[in-house]
Amino acid sequence: LHRHRCLVTACISQSSWLYIVLLFCILLFCNNFSISLISIFFFSFVVGRVLSGSIVEKLTIKITIIIGTILIIVGAVLLMVAGSNLPVAVIGVILLGIGCAPIYPCMMQQTPLLVPAEYASSTIGYQMAGANIAYLTFPYIVGFICERTTLRLYPYAILIVVISLVFVKILPEMKKSAK
């Protein structure tokens, strides 16, 4: 359940806060350009879904999740160091979109493999409920913290959420595979 909250938290807070962070804090560009970057995020998200749907059968679900997580981490780091460097910020936004795309569908697809068949549908329901709770709460938590400190903390918040995904989802599965 926690793994879905991590992903939804990262993706939703990006769609909620990325515009404000890009406009006022990182890039200091005009309003129209920040809106264009948000469009680039969602376009790269759609492209990432299409690409991940076509490569998930060639790769495993676990590897697809790991690749998405790495892309999110790299994108968040690029946003941290972007400053007013436009190409770096654009690449960071694109990597965030592509990285977020495969994780949720892959995790949902993996659920019936991890739990007994009679519990799979209720488990998926719980996962979706947890994702919706994260969708409702995390953008407000990030906003509350950034309002009292600085908007420059936004990429760090995304990084913390994705790293928690690594520790909750990816590392335990790697340990299971090694046994």
| pLDDT at residue 176 greater than cutoff 60 | yes
| CA 107 remoteness from chain centre | 13
Crossing angle between the packed helical segments 31-55 and 86-100, to the nearest 10 degrees: 40
Tokens 């404000």 correspond to 20
Mean pLDDT, residues 147-170 taken together: 75
Decide: 14 and 162 in contact? Cβ < 8 Å.
no
List, for residues 78-130, the tens digit of each pLDDT value: 888 877 777 888 898 899 889 888 888 888 888 888 888 888 888 888 888 87
User: Residue 136: CA atoms inside 13 Å, Cβ hemisphere, count?
Assistant: 6
Crossing angle between the packed helical segments 31-55 and 103-114, to the nearest 10 degrees: 40
Decide: 4 and 107 in contact? Cβ < 8 Å.
yes
